[in-house]
Amino acid sequence: MIFTEASIYRLFDFKHSLEELNEKLSKHRYSPIGDTSTFAGGFINPMDPVLEEQAIQLGHLFGFAYRVEEKKVAPAKVHELTRKRIKELEEKGSAITKQLESDIEDSARKELLRLEVPSVHVVTGFIDAKQNWLYLNTKSGKLCDYALGAMRKMIGSFRLMPARTAKNSSTILSNHLCREGVSLAKGLNVDFEGKLKAVGEKASQKVTFDGIGLYENELAVLDGMDIIEADLYLDKSVGEDDFQRWSFKFHTKKGDQPYQLSKISHIPLSQDDYSGFGNGDQDTYYNADWLLTADLLHSLNQALGDSFGGFNDFEDKEKPEGENITPDKDGTIWASELQKAASKGLPEGVTVTVGEVGQSLYSQAKALVISEQRASVSMLQRAFKIGYNRAAELIEKMEVQGVVTAPSHNGLREVLIKEGE
């Protein structure tokens, strides 16, 4: 299996060919991190990093990989070495100016960086252009931001939103265990020997079960809580009379939130139960493994959608002919929506704001960034339940208006305004 974790995104309007992808991604090809650098990132071939092509295609599937290398030096170590170098100069009678102290600190940081071994992460992803999904083999929000930010920069804007079901998955999971008549999709089950975490109305109300027997005292505790993490398994049909069992951990948050998967693995039910492939050359094996991964992730995702009321698509997706457009929660109607519905009329009494970013939503996003003292696309997506492009536009507008810095070499931004200013 290529994937052991999965962050899942709904994707629309992806109309690139393999040739276009390779041409654009090759402009951001991976190169190793420098001796004194803290970050390096770039695309590599998902089958073999040595190959020139940055993307592959198998039917309607497009595969890619983004390699990230990072170095970190603890500020305390930099300070300690800086103090040591300054003391050596003072003992020689040198005058220490502020500029000299800054230069010594910079030199100390670079000296320590040369000794650091970088952490390496490879985010493998594939785009299912037929079913309109994008999957990344990580549940790290930071790594997802790195990979998707680089994709967006290279191939241009595309509509993307973390997978979110129409009904509250955390509540349905709890009701499935505690109440009659609430079932999951065919083949999808809770692993009663696995772990389960749930939260109540207050943040302090948390409970963890390491195995659950559905005893009366357990259900009394769990009833009314939201399950945010659970070990599940899917019995996936193979042929007419057989199936394979795949286990995974389901992660979400309280309320209407995106979800992620981890610890995806095959559970053999007999000595003959094998999820792999026979002998063959490396390319044949990898292609088969890629197709198995895509088929499995689609089955897992579809089972979750069927269990939790289907999937929520984009707020700004194409409207049926003759239907009026609907403003966002903040009353904003986006310019792209107006273009689509120019001849259809607006809802009566609506005050329209036209622009790249709705002012009310921007104000809320700005307040959140200042309050949290951090800025990332994924944070805004989760907080406001908006697509990737819209969240990225909000961050970019904050950069223009001096709320946050431009992304540094490691892709992170500094918040320039403190709360209360």
117-131, 251-265, 394-408 — most confident range: 117-131
294 and 239 inside one domain: yes
232 and 90 inside one domain: no
Which pLDDT does position 369 carry in this prediction? Answer: 92
pTM: 0.75
> Residue 45 falls within a domain, yes or no?
yes
239 and 280 inside one domain: yes
224 and 146 inside one domain: no
281 and 233 inside one domain: yes
> Residue 324 falls within a domain, yes or no?
no
Which pLDDT does position 285 carry in this prediction? Answer: 73
83 and 94 inside one domain: yes
Place of tokens 């795949």: 246
Which residue, of 265, 291, 307, is where some domain finishes?
307
The 3-class SS string of the chain reads CCCCCEEEEEEECCCCCHHHHHHHHHHHECCCCCCCCCEEEEEECCCCCCCCCCEEEECCEEEEEEEEEECCCCHHHHHHHHHHHHHHHHHCCCCCCHHHHHHHHHHHHHHHHHHCCCEEEEEEEEEECCCCEEEECCCCHHHHHHHHHHHHHHHCCCEEEECCECCCHHHHHHHHHHCCCCCCCCCEEECCCCEEEEECCCCCCEEEEECCCCCHHHHHHHCCCEEEEEEEEEEEEECCCEEEEEEEEEECCCCCCCCEEEEEEEECCCCCCCCCCCCCCHHHHHHHHHHHHHHHHHHHHHHHHHHCCCECCCCCCCCCCCCCCCCCCCCCCCHHHHHHCCCCCCCCCCCCCCCCCCHHHHHHHHHHHHHHCCCCHHHHHHHHCCCHHHHHHHHHHHHHCCCECCCCCCCCCCECCCCCC
15 and 46 inside one domain: yes
100 and 179 inside one domain: no
Is the pLDDT at 209 greater than 50? The verdict is: yes
Average pLDDT on 207-218 reads 87
Query: Could you report the per-residue pLDDT of 348-388, keeping only the tens digit for each?
Result: 444 434 344 445 788 889 989 998 898 988 888 888 878 77
51 and 175 inside one domain: no
130 and 209 inside one domain: no
80 and 67 inside one domain: no
> Residue 97 falls within a domain, yes or no?
yes
16 and 152 inside one domain: yes
Which pLDDT does position 320 carry in this prediction? Answer: 36
Q: Pick the residue with more confidence: 96 or 313?
A: 96
Q: What percent of the chain has pLDDT over 90?
A: 48
> Residue 196 falls within a domain, yes or no?
yes
Domain containing residue 18: 6-72+116-161
CA–CA separation, 86 and 76 (whole Å): 15
Query: Could you report the per-residue pLDDT of 269-288, keeping only the tens digit for each?
Result: 765 555 554 555 666 777 88
Average pLDDT on 57-83 reads 94
> Residue 391 falls within a domain, yes or no?
no
Which pLDDT does position 238 carry in this prediction? Answer: 80
Which residue, of 134, 161, 188, is where some domain finishes?
161
> Residue 205 falls within a domain, yes or no?
yes
Q: How many domains does the chain have?
A: 3
